[in-house]
Amino acid sequence: MLHIGWAKTGTTSLQNFLKLNQDRLLGEHGVCYPCTGRKAAGQHRLGLCLREGGPEPREVWSRLMAELAAERGWHTAIVSSEALRNPDPQRLAMAAALVPPEWQVLIVMYVRQPDLMLESLYLQELKGGYPWASFDKFLAAKRAAGEPDYEGAVTLYQTGFPPPCARVVVRPFEREQWPDGDLVADFLQATGLGDVLADETLRQPPRLNEKASPLLMSLVQALTRRLVGERKPGEQGGFGRLLPSIRMPETSPDEPVLFLDAETREAMRCEHDALFKRLGVSFLRRHALVKGVAGDLPRFGSLEPSDRERLLRRVLEAAVIVGDQTILARRKAEAELGSKRARLRKLEARCAEVDRELSRLRLVTGARHH
């Protein structure tokens, strides 16, 4: 089974579930979650080698086949990664050729309403260290790149793993359509893993992501732009791991930010109507459009001075709590630079004293000669 994780469709939650329970899934249910290519909770190296310029796919995927050949007692193996969604066709063909022809391959992909996905991805990339100046610039870049190209991903995998030995399952990313609102339960049900779904000891209440307030995200945006060249864009964690440690006062605005107006939102959804219909995907909230005028995060410089001071103080406190090396290293470097400048000023002052003393001695010596 190949889970083509799409950004902002719960891939990390599914990968964490599979990694956390990998021993029990294999021992009690015959579901193998391989270690080959694992980076964090997903097999991202297996996906990255399928991209142009990545490592040789034959080497990486051969190790996967070797691991599965050595493992016993499994009937389903799951590979999950966001990096699987945009492979190079030739590299995908190399990997597909290594899969035994008698295996049945299931390709699983979740799709989200394109407007909601892009809005969520914008905030996620800011947290990850991408210095987008505005949502408009982000949207223009993503649309120019053809995002979200759901159809392209489906076509690539239908070509790389043609039927009857393979099939594609596409599910809507919409909580209202999942059993008890649980993404993991929907994934297991959609992929035919009913015995795992029936194991209640594996099930846990779905975790809700805590959203940062617009004020806080405006600070994140300002920080990412200021640290361009110091923090690698997309560096693991970014500012995202700081946010849970920064507690905002209850009086801070918590209204949702509207990035798209209703007309643009509807037009973007209509672009995917034919594809979703062909894939058998529908959304219960299809016509529940957010109303309002297109906007963006408040600019950090436009905030009240008291708000700016409070946010800056809290992000530095949070950096100490979570050990954010970039921010702490910057503060340490500034302190060391200040100390060096102080020593340099003292040295310059001492040199000036020596120059004055030499000048005095030259005058005295010259007077004696006369």
Q: Of 242, 203, 251, which Cα lies nearest the Cα of 224? A: 242
**DSSP label at 228?**
B
75-110 per-residue burial string, b: 16 or more CB within 10 A, e: under 16: ebbbbbbbbbbbbbeebbebbbeebeeeeebbbbbb
Tell me whether the omega of the peptide bond preceding residue 233 falls within 30 degrees of 0, making it cis.
no
CA distance 118 to 201: 35
Radius of gyration for the alpha carbons in the chain, expressed in angstroms and rounded: 28
Q: What integer pLDDT is reported at residue 140 of this predicted model?
A: 95
| Residue 92 identity (one-letter amino acid) | L
- For residue 55, the Cα-to-chain-centroid distance in whole angstroms is 21
Q: What integer pLDDT is reported at residue 82 of this predicted model?
A: 93
Q: What is the DSSP string of 37-48?
A: T-BTTB-HHHHH
**DSSP label at 133?**
S
Q: What integer pLDDT is reported at residue 204 of this predicted model?
A: 64
Q: Where would I find the H helices in the chain?
A: 11-20, 22-29, 44-48, 57-70, 89-98, 114-127, 135-144, 150-160, 183-190, 194-197, 214-226, 262-270, 273-279, 305-322, 325-369
Domain ranges across the chain: 2-112+149-197, 214-323
**DSSP label at 73?**
S
Query: Per the structure block, which two tokens stand in for 215?
Result: 């004020």
CA distance 189 to 212: 32
Tell me the mean pLDDT per 10 residues along the chain, length 370: 91 92 94 93 93 86 95 95 93 93 94 93 88 92 93 92 88 92 92 87 64 83 77 60 72 65 88 93 76 78 86 81 69 79 86 84 67
SS3 162: coil
